[in-house]
Amino acid sequence: MEWLLAVLVLLGLGVFVLPRARLRYVLSQAFPLNYSKILRKNLPGYSRMPTDLQMQLKRRIRQFLYQKTFVGCGGLTITDEIRVTIAGKACLLLLNRESDVYPQLTHVLVYPSAFVAPRTQMNTGGVVTHTNQGLSGESWSDGRVILAWDQAAHNPENEARGQDVVLHEFAHQLDSETGSTNGAPDLKTAAAYKAWSQVMEREFSQLLHAIENDMPTIIDPYGATNPAEFFAVVTEAFFKKSQDLAHYHPALYTQLRNYYQVDPCDWI
């Protein structure tokens, strides 16, 4: 029996200790020069970020690339540029925070361009409708994010609109870590949830009002779909239209700054 116990202990060590030792080894390696080049090319603002945030970002990217599997779909071959760009944008949302690197996420599926997702909806009369939607991104709570590379790459049109599908889908991932994707990520304290819900509800209503009255808004109208989409689009605005969001929606900006623990106005 003793030998059996010894085998079990060794197996336990293998399961729990080796992956952590391997991760420590991976994180201790130098960040490849071509990865830095990709970040400078595809992450606007990266070059202006404070050095400590750049260092944190590189460490998170290494962990992301070590732990997540990228799958090329629709004939796409996964390259370093695809992996590092997506990991870089995803890990922007983790800086300065006590958070693991998307613990529920296992796979990132990447299509060359908009992909078709079959949808089945049942109305109250029991009629089932099948639709085919062209999508640029999807986040699933079962451990998958799906992205269209032509939208996830550095895209001048999306840049001009302050939109970023990678930030959007990974905000959904953070939202779903609480067990329900409802627009409120893990905020740690009851006081933080209270302040968050007061500001988000008010801002959500203001967005609905602006849309109904054809008023201009810097927040993507898609955010009015529901609170989860609102959190995803204001996350995009926080990182891509920081100055405007801070100016026109200071209370919302403050909530996002408290949660994300960074102030992108410092480098955008």
CB of 168 to Zn ion, least distance (A): 6
Tell me the site size for Zn ion, rule CB under 5 A.
Answer: 2
Binding mask 66-85 for Zn ion (x = CB under 5 A): --------------------
CB of 165 to Zn ion, least distance (A): 9
Residue nearest to Zn ion (CB): 232
**Residue 220 or 229: which CB sits closer to Zn ion?**
229
Longest Cα–Cα distance of the chain, Å, equals: 76
Does 166 bind Zn ion (CB under 5 A)? Our answer is no
Binding mask 192-231 for Zn ion (x = CB under 5 A): -------------------------------------x--
**Residue 229 or 253: which CB sits closer to Zn ion?**
229
**Residue 203 or 229: which CB sits closer to Zn ion?**
229
One of 86, 101, 232, 262 touching Zn ion (CB under 5 A): 232
Binding site for Zn ion (CB under 5 A): 229, 232
